Homo-oligomer: A and B are copies of this chain.
Amino acid sequence: MEGTKKVKSQALLSKLATSDEHGENSPYFDGWKAYDKDPFHPLTNPNGVIQMGLAENQLSLDMVLDWIKANPEASICNAEGLHAFKNMALFMEKARGERVRFDPDRIVMAGGATGANEVAIFCLANEGDAFLVPSPYYPAFNRDLRWRTKVRLLPVTCQSSNNFQMTKEDLEEAYENAQKANIKVKGVILSNPSNPLGTTMDKTNLRSLVTFINEKQIHLVCDEIYGATVFRSPRFVSISEVAEEMECNLDLIHVVYSLSKDMGLPGFRVGILYSYNDHVVSCARKQSSFGLVSSQTQHLLAKMLLDEEFTDKYLSESRRRLASRYDSFTKGLKEVGIGCLESNAGLYCWMDLRQLLKEPTFDGEMELWRVIVNEVKLNVSPGSSFHCYEPGWFRVCFANMDDETLEIALGRIRMFVEKGKGAKSWQRNLKLSFSSRKMATSPRIMSPHSPIPPHSPLLRANN
């Protein structure tokens, strides 16, 4: 292997630079590195970093595992005709309380919601075009939606005083600012339920959003991948429900869905673009060969989603477990004086640590975040990585661990708040309290985070 001198193509380097700009060096991803270097384990590394940056639902994986064990034939591909698209449409209806109907012919499969979101943008926009996105928003939108398509994302700043709900005025202002700057706005993209807020948009706000995009004749891409995680009222209202009731141009409306969050199956890479616009369906279908779902997995899912007794039970039990986890976690936080934005969905809380900041700035937020990751040893994600305008908010994931680990995390937060930042004494206490506890045995099947070698991109895929 002689002569391997390094030649870097300009294109490649510019791609890598772009990627860094897009936030992969942000604390959102740095926290992951801290976890990767020193991961918590109840027995072998009880003082390690607890992963609370991963929006993954492990609370009901045992039910999926039991179903697969009870239906071994579903895992094996055979010639039996199964209707993956039809069964997916049925499940999407169920996840939305049977209030809407989905046409299987409008479903385009893509490689996860990541792929589906990118395909939507490739269909709708050209390089330089922009989408409005209510902030705070999912950090990887910057990578997924912008990197290869070269579109822009323009944050619509939502106010904490209004519980971060987006108003029509916020939207109008962002739109007008773009027009003044000569930027072509091609649409609005948002996640509902919101990641990172864990809140849902009500019917009035959704109607007002649909009216807005109709007035401007721009597109609306609704990422509803957390639709079935809504664990208490107000119930989830899908954009489909609102759009079908209203006088509006359905051609402007597109839904992204996935089984990664609602069914806790991120490793299966099942993402979907559902569009009411024939041209988008056709354009997306031509792209779907870039991210098709394995036929083996299609087969398994088609069988699983057809088993309505199972999916009914799964969806209600999953909601019950999420509500119970949310309650115990927020109650624990409340006992030490920490509040969260009141939420009804998702796999995370939007935690309010404004009162713990040394100064109300993003530098202050970063300083606090470093203490939380490096000393309290919890990987949480600071609001700045979600483009939140106000320092002091943190997203904390609570559904990717067992009860015992959650208790340890709460214990660390309690100690941290009570003792201030006396890191040394805190660490000693921690060791005394937790080093002898029993190993938890939570189901880890099908999570991309265990059996895959450390360099696998799966480690970053579903956050």
Query: Which of chain A's residues 182-239 have a Cβ closer than 8 Å to chain B?
Result: 186, 217, 219
Interface-side segment among A294-302, A305-313, A392-400: A294-302
Bound form: Cα–Cα A16–B302 in Å:
30
Given contacts A75-B76, A118-B290, contact A84 B297 (CB under 8 A): no
Provide the bound-state CA to CA distance between A299 and B447, in Å.
12
Q: Is A421 an interface residue (CB 8 A)?
A: no
Is A267 a contact partner of B289 (Cβ separation < 8 A)?
no
| Copies of the protein in its oligomer | 2
Q: State the Cβ distance, A413 to closest chain B Cβ, in Å.
A: 29
Residue A135 at the chain B interface, CB threshold 8 Å:
no
Question: A364 contacts the other chain (Cβ, under 8 Å)?
Answer: no
B9 touches A219 (CB 8 A): yes
Interface residues of A in 125-150 (CB under 8 A from B): 125-127, 129, 143-144, 147-148
Interface residues in A, total, Cβ within 8 A: 103
- State A227–B279 Cα separation when bound (angstroms): 38
Would B124 and A79 count as touching, CB distance under 8 A?
Answer: no
Q: Please judge, given known A-B contacts A249-B7, A286-B143, A290-B291, whether A455 and B75 are in contact too, CB under 8 Å.
A: no
Which residue of the partner chain, among B250, B294, B450, contacts A81 with CB atoms under 8 Å?
B450
Contact of A283 with B12 in the complex, beta carbons under 8 Å = yes
| Complex: A292 Cα to B79 Cα, angstroms | 25
> Chain A, 424-448, contact with B by CB distance < 8 Å: what is the 0/1 string?
0000000000000000000111101
Tell whether A123 is near chain B: CB-to-CB under 8 Å.
yes
Residue of B16, B72, B86, B443 near A76 (CB, 8 A) is: B72
A169 lies within 8 A of chain B by Cβ = no
Which residues of chain A from 265 to 322 have a CB within 8 Å of any chain B CB?
Answer: 267-270, 276, 279-280, 282-283, 285-300
Please, how many angstroms separate the alpha-carbon atoms of A20 and B294 in the complex? Answer: 27
Q: Are B289 and A125 in contact (CB under 8 A)?
A: no
